[in-house]
Structures are given as structure tokens and as C-alpha cells.
Amino acid sequence: MNTEISFPSKIENITLVEKFIDDISVEYKLGTEIYGNILVAIIEAVNNAILHGNKFDPRKTVKVIFYNDIQMLSFKVFDQGPGFDSTSIPDPTTAENIENPHGRGIFLMRHLADEVNFYDKGREVELKFKRC
């Protein structure tokens, strides 16, 4: 099953994503831990798409697609921004970055999801979670 939502790049639309994840959680009877991991990781990806990708431009959209298969729950988040080099993100746990108030979103995604992949110059992020 594939399900998707699209919305303008406004921070208040995060509530649409929360409802989207809640509905998936109910439909697939997700446990508390995987639900929490999915919710935080996807919210981080969407926040990055709105803020860094689309620069809060409400004329640009963010799209979230959910894919379900036997072994994984997968999500793709798309933005319409210029992209970025996902390999050049500084580690937020190093001494020189520890006090930086930004830069933890991708770190969180990588620690909460079982797999994170970036495509299309960073304009698409795929997050996969093993079914429990």
C-alpha cells in the first residue's frame, strides 16, 4: 500500500504529518517504540524540507509518501529546494559542533531509522523502519 500527502511549505503543516503518521500507526498497529521513532524521524525530515529545502516558501510543496512491504515501513520526503550534499553534514556530537543549535535533524534520522538514503541531490530522503 502506498499513501501520500502534499502540502505547502508552512511550519504549521507539521500537524498534517503528525496525523498522517498517527493514521498509519493505527492502521498497522505499530508499537510505541517504532511509532515514536517514525514520528520523530519523519517530522525532522519534513522540518528540514520546509526550512532548509523550500526556505518556508509556501508556493513550494513538501510531499511525503508511505510505502509498506512485508519487512519494512518506508517513507520518502520530497522538497523543491536546491538540494545539498548529504555527505558533508558535520557531526553534531563533535566538540566544535556540540553547542551549535542546528544540525541534529539528520543525526536523529540516522539513529532512529534503520536505513536513511538521500536522492536527487538531497531533495528526496528515504527513511526505512524494520517491522517489529
Separation between Cα atoms, residue 70 and residue 67, nearest integer Å: 10
For 67, counting Cβ atoms within 10 Å of its Cβ (0-12 exposed, 13-18 middle, 19+ buried), the class is middle
pLDDT tens, 9-64?
Answer: 999 999 999 999 999 999 999 999 999 999 999 999 999 999 999 999 999 999 99
Q: What is the pLDDT of residue 69?
A: 87
Please give the model's pTM, rounded to 2 decimal places.
Answer: 0.93
- Residue range 71-93, pLDDT digits in tens: 999 999 999 999 998 888 877 67
**Which fold, 2-130?**
Heat Shock Protein 90 (3.30.565)
